[in-house]
């Protein structure tokens, strides 16, 4: 096994077509003597014989038709070194028809360079490429203002172009690490300071490059180690992969997802000999102290902050094809080393990268950037892109064609990983002499869980309160569990994050179960926005559980706004508010739908009252 370190920084160069990416790289490589003078003379003679002016871009043109078309078609990788360290350039194409290759190059980049023709200024493709870098989790760029010779090194024009680009970058939360005015043709400020721009007091490109710190994630206390393969060598079972965050050493505690099993590292394996420690970017093999089941695509992590396990999440994607998005179609999602069948369940927004406005149309076209909700039949180990960029990037395939690339936004949906911290040791359930059947016979009805779900303001509590009163008068053993009342006591330590909402639902469902064992019909009024968590609540007592959808649109609930919560949410005073800043998933097959947008309270109450009597009375 030959596991090599991946410490060499990868640099992606992006920008509008003809703004001089290839010329810039060619000139840079020539200036640092990575390309011989003989090679340049050879190309100059060839250009002269063809009747064209020599350009440094010719050094990178691997294909004849590229030179004829005047655009770079493929993504080219060029290895080079400065006096400080080694690098690899990823020369990404600028023409909009070749954006797929640009994404392929940028997805693995450590350093991003955005190049602009200072004479032409900031173009639509410049903005789109900057937004794509943001989409791929790159939030700091080096900006190069090329062709300064064409504007006679004019400082004012440079500053106007820089301000325009900096404003756009600021709007999308991308920071410019350095802004460098250069001439690729003449070599100004690339490897040596320009005497023609004495007003520029910043560093040359090579100085900026060597000062760029890419090690900020290598010292992370957290770990991400996607499993690439498992090798069987004699009596060893070696798990191999590349470290995407943190460090690995002998004896380290790991948790593997999706199995959620914990184990320690027994040995580190590499050829010809292993080091004591490996860090982000290193490829290495490990053996474990226990023989647990591990498969390609699994994720090993630290035990303190492992990835979420999710089957529903939001994502920003770049749609690469002319094909339409189909909601009932299975796409193949490749993330880290795993592959999963997913469906796109909702298109939330389509972003216009020119002005950052949302498009009115919901029809996604080629090269559109959009926010979507994705559903998987399997639980996927996921990191939010704000936590770790490299493990939050993915691509979608349709019939082996890449149709989209994107990043994970896991904030609005809950972690479904079962926590192992609660060990059920020395716990023995007690069987009581009065059982559920005895209670049902006495009260003349079966127990049940009537789970009312819907937006805040849809009418859940009002309906439950009235139904409870009516059925109690008819001698039903009935009790109401209301979400707000529970948060005053039992659930007062829970906030409104996806994980806290999940725990709120779990606790409430367990309390409802206890009430059914006491012979009660329990009315649960809870927003409970996630289908997955309502299913978990149902699974506690599926034979007694009835899901009731109290239906009302956000617009209707906004008009009602009895508690004033929507007004606060719209002002930003309440975060993670369902229907405004947090999602609500409508039930797919509820036992009953009560549409309070169209019904009076009395009609809604009568519907639920009749439903309960029919379902649970003897």
Residues noted as catalytic:
528
Q: Exposed (0-12), middle (13-18) or buried (19+): which is 205, by Cβ within 10 Å? A: buried
In this structure, the number of other CB atoms found within 10 A of the CB of residue 291 comes to 9
Angle, CA of 380, 590 and 564, to the nearest 5°: 85
- The whole-angstrom separation of Cα 438 and Cα 287 is 56
Listed residue (332, 325, 318) closest to 347, CA to CA:
325
DSSP 149: G
Q: Alpha carbon of 473 to those of 16, 269, 270, 447, 609: distances in Å?
A: 74, 73, 75, 17, 12
DSSP 183: B
- The whole-angstrom separation of Cα 201 and Cα 197 is 9
Three-state secondary structure call for residue 171:
helix
What secondary structure does DSSP assign to 252-290, as a single string?
A: -EEEEETTTEEEEEEEEE-SS---SEEETTBEEEEEESS
Listed residue (529, 546, 533) closest to 586, CA to CA:
529
What secondary structure does DSSP assign to 112-147, as a single string?
A: EEEEEETTT---HHHHHHHHHHHHTT--EEEEEEE-
- The whole-angstrom separation of Cα 219 and Cα 212 is 16
Cis peptide, bond prior to residue 459, ω within 30 of zero: no
- The whole-angstrom separation of Cα 181 and Cα 147 is 8
Biggest CA pair distance of the chain:
104
Q: Report which secondary-structure segment, H or E, holds 440.
A: helix 436-443
- The whole-angstrom separation of Cα 147 and Cα 24 is 10
Tokens of 524: 């649960």
300, 256 Cβ separation under 8 angstroms:
yes
Q: Report which secondary-structure segment, H or E, holds 592.
A: strand 592-595
């Amino acid at each position: 096994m030959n596991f090599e370190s991946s410490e060499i920084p990868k640099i992606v160069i992006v920008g509008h077509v003809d703004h001089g990416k290839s010329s810039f790289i060619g000139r840079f490589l020539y200036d640092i003597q990575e390309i011989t003078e003989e090679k340049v003379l050879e190309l100059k003679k060839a250009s002269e014989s063809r009747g064209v002016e020599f350009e440094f871009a010719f050094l990178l043109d691997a294909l004849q038709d590229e030179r004829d078309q005047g655009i770079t078609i493929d993504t080219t990788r060029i290895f080079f070194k400065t006096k400080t360290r080694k690098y690899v350039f990823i020369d990404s194409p600028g023409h909009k028809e070749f954006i797929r290759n640009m994404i392929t190059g940028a997805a693995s980049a450590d350093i991003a360079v955005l190049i602009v023709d200072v004479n032409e200024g900031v173009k639509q493709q410049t903005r789109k490429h900057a937004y794509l870098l943001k989409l791929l989790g790159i939030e700091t760029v080096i900006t190069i203002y090329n062709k300064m010779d064409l504007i006679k090194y004019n400082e004012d024009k440079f500053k106007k172009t820089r301000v325009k680009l900096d404003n756009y970058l600021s709007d999308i939360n991308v920071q410019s690490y350095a802004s460098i005015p250069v001439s690729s043709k003449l070599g100004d400020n690339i490897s040596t300071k320009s005497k023609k721009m004495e007003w520029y007091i910043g560093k040359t490109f090579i100085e900026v490059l060597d000062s760029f710190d890419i090690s900020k994630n290598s010292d992370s206390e957290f770990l991400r180690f996607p499993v690439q393969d498992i090798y069987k060598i004699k009596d060893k079972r070696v798990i191999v992969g590349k470290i995407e965050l943190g460090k690995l050493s002998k004896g380290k505690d790991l948790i593997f997802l999706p199995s959620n099993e914990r184990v320690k590292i027994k040995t580190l394996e590499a050829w010809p000999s292993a080091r004591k420690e490996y860090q982000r970017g290193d490829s290495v093999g490990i053996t474990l102290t226990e023989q647990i089941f591990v498969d390609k695509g699994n994720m090993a992590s630290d035990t303190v902050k492992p990835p979420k396990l999710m089957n529903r999440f939001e994502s920003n994607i770049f749609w690469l094809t002319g094909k339409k998005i189909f909601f009932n179609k299975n796409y193949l999602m490749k993330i880290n080393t795993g592959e999963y069948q997913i469906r796109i369940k909702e298109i939330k927004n389509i972003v216009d990268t020119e002005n950052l406005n949302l498009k009115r149309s919901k029809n996604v076209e080629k090269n559109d950037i959009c926010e979507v909700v994705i559903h998987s039949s399997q639980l996927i180990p996921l990191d939010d892109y704000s936590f770790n960029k490299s493990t939050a990037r993915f691509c979608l395939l349709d019939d082996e064609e890449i149709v989209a690339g994107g990043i994970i936004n896991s904030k609005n949906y809950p972690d479904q990983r079962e926590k192992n911290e609660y060990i059920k040791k020395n716990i023995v359930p007690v069987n009581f002499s009065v059982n559920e059947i005895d209670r049902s016979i006495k009260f003349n009805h079966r127990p049940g869980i009537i789970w009312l779900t819907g937006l805040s303001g849809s009418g859940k509590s009002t309906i439950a309160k009235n139904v409870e009163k009516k059925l109690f008068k008819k001698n039903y053993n009935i009790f109401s569990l209301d979400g707000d009342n529970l948060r005053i006591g039992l659930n007062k330590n829970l906030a409104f994050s996806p994980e806290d909402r999940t725990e709120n639902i779990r606790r409430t469902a367990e309390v409802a179960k206890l009430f059914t064992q006491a012979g009660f019909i329990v009315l649960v009024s809870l927003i409970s926005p996630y289908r997955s968590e309502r299913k978990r609540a149902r699974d506690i007592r599926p034979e007694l559980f009835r899901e009731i959808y109290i239906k009302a649109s956000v617009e209707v609930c906004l008009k009602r706004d009895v508690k004033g919560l929507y007004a606060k949410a719209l002002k930003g005073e309440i975060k993670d508010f369902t229907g405004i800043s947090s999602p609500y998933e409508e039930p797919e097959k509820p036992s009953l739908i009560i549409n309070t947008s169209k019904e009076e309270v009395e009609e809604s109450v009568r519907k639920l009252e009749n439903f309960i009597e029919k379902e649970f009375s003897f």
